[in-house]
Copies of this chain bind each other. A is one copy, B any other.
Amino acid sequence: MLPDGAPRALALSDVAVHAGVSHQTVSRVVNGHPNVAPATRERVQRAITELGYRPNAAARALVTGSTRSFGLVISHINQYGPAQTLLGLEKAARAAGYSLGVAILDDDSEAAMREAVDRFVAQSVDAVVALSTYGQAVEALRRFEAPVPLIAVQVGRDESRPTVWVAQEVGAELATRHLLELGHRTVHHVTGPPDSLEARGRVVGWRRALEQAGAPVPEPLCGDWWASAGHAAGRALAARVRAGQEDVTAVFVANDQMALGLLSALADEGLSVPGDISVVGFDDVPECEYFSPPLTTVRQDFAELGRRGVELVLARLRGEPLESQPVLPQLIVRRSTGPARRV
């Protein structure tokens, strides 16, 4: 009924008057303190619902020093992994009674990272979760002296700071070994961007698996996560095949988008998958199953990552220094991989 011009929001004292008690008693009821007589509690409860009172978060934050909120610093939110992690994180945070502020990094520079964290600090969030896995932003994180707990997710192990991460090397080894076991002499690799820690981890795992098997380690092709880079890599590999290079029969691509581009390029070049070349991706995006052919890949449980991130934050806030275990990836075999062709 009232025009939009605010009728001044209800305060504790309004409820107190309505219920005939002091504002402190109302506060006690709101916060579930023990020593309140059942009759009083009920009377206050009724007043609260009748008036539709809701506590003022700012006033609370001012006096308690806690906003019951986290800040999430994130980049590349339009990619599957980060989006999925955000999903898990928000849900877990909400379940724990925290709300989530989001800052999306324009670029992965130290300055951007610092500015985002700063803004959260000014908002007095209770903790900041950072999910940038790129270059200087990661370095920046390592050195930060923030006046709030700062938790890193998905940046690989870090001794100096609490961290949650997926064991990228393990996933890459899984993929590479799978191909070697199918009889391929070696496995080529299309990497992610060089400044990504995840991309580097996958390179390490791939190389390790090859070396352990005594297989030659070819020069990796450099990509950037996007399908276009995979396409370029596919053309490059096809050229090598045409030039008679015999060992190009298996490729481990650092993510599914690039694998899609690669499949497309190979098809254009008249190479069959897995007949001529076997391909493995990474991430297990939901569309994998409908690539041509359906893509063998490594699944990362991003939602779990988000969940563990929140766990770590909460443990930290409670003062328990929880040692977090890495999340383990899993190989999903589909139809893009097959036995090496006999030469």
Contacts and interface: CB of A to CB of B under 8 A. Distances in A.
Interface of A: 6, 9, 54-59, 61-62, 67, 69, 77-78, 80, 83-84, 86-87, 90-91, 94, 99-104, 106, 118-119, 121-124, 147, 226-228, 230-231, 257, 260-261, 263-264, 267, 286-287, 289-292, 294
A196 to B, nearest CB: 17
B124 A57 contact: yes
A33 to B, nearest CB: 19
Question: Number of copies of this chain in the oligomer?
Answer: 2
A123 B57 contact: yes
A264 B69 CA distance: 44
A55 to B, nearest CB: 7
A58 B55 contact: no
Given A58-B62, A91-B106, 11 more contacts: A56-B124, A57-B122, A58-B67, A77-B86, A227-B286, A227-B287, A227-B290, A257-B286, A257-B287, A260-B287, A263-B292
A67 B123 CA distance: 9
Nearest to A302: B78
A91 to B, nearest CB: 7
Given A58-B58, A84-B78, A286-B227, A123 B104 contact: no
